[in-house]
A and B are shown apart, each in its own frame.
Chain A
């Protein structure tokens, strides 16, 4: 435990419905999908037709803006649908699994591969899309080598999967993954671990380890980068989720693409919150059923299903598919109810970062929060609150105002290169003015990509 970085700022939101440490294994059958909408800025060009036979790792579509980056089938089987939405936008490419899990073959002998060949394997197998680049939080360009690669070995978001539990038995895969990363960058591979928690990641060789202690967002890789080696203008670093790292390592260890991952099924509306082991891209319906299903709802009540955690996840439905990178599925009650004089009430059952309610006096209590906005959208009034929730040397409100004013110099100066949506999610949660902070930030980032 050499390098412990203590973070004071941030907030742990304690919710009802943490996953019990039991794993349900889901057999490979039924429908799996890859959804272009899960990748920021991806303009898909579809490569398959309904009825085509594919293997795990066969390309389904590529990104027109970056034709090298393939998005591949997680399973072997037959393409059963290409779902489109408004303006024929591709929503998902669905494959019906045959259960055999045959894989395309890739060049995976790390000892003999050059960096270029390694990059090609990652691009062809679709695993390239598991990397994210900072600045901007988009899939990295294959032409630029990163200054360093960062991986957070834990997730601190509300009800997040316990990565130490999820990664049990993945040590060899992770080690191989780290070797892949070392080959991709001339710089270092960094890993952020949770202080005081045992994890297989502690035993990995070839990574620079930093321990983090503190509330959410201590597990966000962006926060960790800021404290380990912050991004300066003109630099590019990559990040990769730790479960994705194991998947990458698995390909290079076994030679076959195996997109199996463990999803934490969490939230107050699940009958039995627990872990489900499944191939990526499974249908939500099946994962929910495997975990034990949703609680029965009273008339007039409904449930919101979220792919991811309650702060940054994507709204989804039973008929949709898990995203390829999904580590967590959450179900919370919809809050589409009126509340009589709610703003004047003590609201003992609701949680607030503000001390004008009483939740801060009982820090251990778990809450069953719904999706109500709890107020109307206003101009920014309260100050000093946002800074308390972001453990970075950044003024969130000034950054957001610079984005709204489209002032590029200020955006860069105030740190837009260092943050993505998840880092400001807590600010959005706590904002009394109910502004869409994550959306504003993404619009700002997209503007930067367009203009720079």
Chain B
């Protein structure tokens, strides 16, 4: 590694102020700190520092996303081969995975290239170091897209999310809305036909040629249309159903959840309360029982659609969620409840998770305002007691 360090030290002056590539200073710095933890020492305050930094935090989340991503790739292949009747002839697990891998990889690449490109540029303009936040967003965005999404839409959605969702507020840590959710919402409202319906969730289905008996509808669409889903709760649990790339497998997402909770990177309060909120809302609908959808067992809601994915990876985003412990519970419960409410009651949107999180992102500061306000009131009360 000494040779590499020497090389980096040698080329560093070119990227510093006055050097040939000074315009790439932030980019160089980003890559350098990626390779080597800098030799900066503490100057003021605590002389020793925890060895955790944002790079570590973000990479743990990316790691937690991998099971969902890998299963998603496999499922892309599985759905495709099933739809075209090639399952028996062609598909081993590996073949399904490789098929999906080559379909999903371009989406991931586009998301990272566009997002990081914008991040690098903005960092250079501001003269700041590059933030690590997009490492996670860049992985989240592909996983909440359907596999047949055109790449230019991915690029546009990512650019919108990074610029309007994050950079205008001042970058990672300052944003109000979760960038990945924002990217999906942007695509959902701007290019609805590419991200809803029965055709987009399975690779190649829109082009035709699939078996007549096959339907590419997600269970949620079927439920919203009043049709009994052709898949079982076990399929939803394992994830062998049509849907966005990373959202289908409850098991894979739970492996990610275990990583996030074990490392303490995500808040268990938020995660648990989203599930609790969804479950409770499901129970309420069970009690009302006005139609078949309302009678869907409450725990099935947690397996379906993007509920688990949203609860584990998106609601727990520390920047856009409520920041106080008490606030996190209220925030989570409301996301869960709203998501199920939108699903069951709103005829327009089969899935409510995205809108529920987006809405609660906006409300989170208000929740915190009241939680923190209570702390201030407690302290003010003390003044009177003592006097």
Which residue numbers of A lie inside 8 Å of B, CB to CB?
13, 158, 229-230, 232-235, 304, 306, 310-313, 315, 330, 332, 334-344, 347, 350-357, 369-384, 387, 393-395, 397-398, 410, 413-415, 421, 425, 428-434, 436-439
> A356 CA to B380 CA in the complex, in Å?
38
Shortest distance between the CB of B163 and any CB in chain A (Å): 17
> Are A373 and B40 in contact (CB-based, < 8 A)?
yes
Contact check, B49 vs A381: say whether CB atoms are below 8 A apart. no
User: Does A339 lie within 8 Å of B36, measured CB to CB?
Assistant: yes
Tell me which of B133, B319, B382 contacts A230 (CB under 8 A): B382
B283 to chain A, nearest CB (A): 29
A355 to chain B: closest residue by CB: B264
Instruction: Note all chain B residues with C-beta closer than 8 A to A378.
Output: 53-54, 129, 131-132, 172-173
Known contacts A354-B56, A433-B173; decide if A414 and B376 are in contact (CB<8 Å). yes
Q: A356-B263, A413-B380 are in contact. Are A375 and B55 (CB under 8 A)?
A: yes
Interface code B195-208, partner A: CB below 8 Å = 1, 0 otherwise?
00000000000000
Alpha-carbon distance between A332 and B173 when the two chains are bound, in angstroms = 33
- Give the docked Cα–Cα distance between A436 and B379 (Å): 26
Chain B's closest residue to A313 (CB) is B47
Cβ-closest chain B residue relative to A441: B45
A356:B60 contact, CB within 8 angstroms = yes
**B124 in contact (CB, < 8 A):** no
Question: Closest Cβ of chain A: how far from B246's Cβ, in Å?
Answer: 22
Residue of B5, B60, B383 ringed by the most chain A CB atoms within 10 A:
B383
Q: Which of B183-191, B300-308, B320-328 contacts A (4 or more CB under 8 A)?
A: B320-328
A354: which of B40, B47, B264, B378 is its contact (CB, 8 Å)?
A: B264
Residue from B44, B49, B171 with most neighbouring chain A CB atoms (10 Å): B49
A373 to B129: give the CA distance in the assembly, Å.
15
**Which chain B residues lie closer than 8 Å to A336 at the CB level?**
39, 41
**Size class of B's contact patch?**
35 or more
A332–B48 CB distance below 8 A: yes
Q: Scoring B residues 307 to 348 as 1 if CB is less than 8 Å from chain A, else 0, what string do you get?
A: 000000000001101011100100000000000000000000
B387 beta carbon closer than 8 Å to chain A = yes
Contact of B290 with A by CB under 8 A: no
Q: How far is the CA of A376 from the CA of B36 in the complex (A)?
A: 11
For B55, the chain A residues whose CB sits under 8 A away are: 343-344, 375
Report yes or no: A373 in contact with B41, Cβ–Cβ below 8 A.
yes
| B92-146 CB contacts (< 8 Å) to partner A | 129, 131-133
B234: Cβ under 8 A from any A Cβ = no
* Separation of A305 and B357 alpha carbons in the complex (Å): 50
The answer to whether the Cβ of B57 comes within 8 Å of any Cβ in the partner chain is yes
Is B50's CB within 8 Å of the partner chain A?
yes
Among A341, A373, A375, A425, which residue has its beta carbon within 8 angstroms of that of B35?
Answer: A341
CB pair A413–B376 under 8 Å, yes or no, is yes
Judge whether A372 and B41 touch: CB under 8 Å.
yes
In contact, A379 and B174 (Cβ under 8 angstroms): yes
**Chain B nearest Cβ from A114, distance in angstroms:** 28
Q: Of B36, B51, B54, which one neighbours A433 at CB under 8 angstroms?
A: B54
9 A-B pairs whose Cβ atoms sit less than 8 Å apart in the complex:
A354-B50, A357-B51, A374-B51, A374-B53, A376-B40, A381-B318, A393-B375, A413-B376, A432-B50
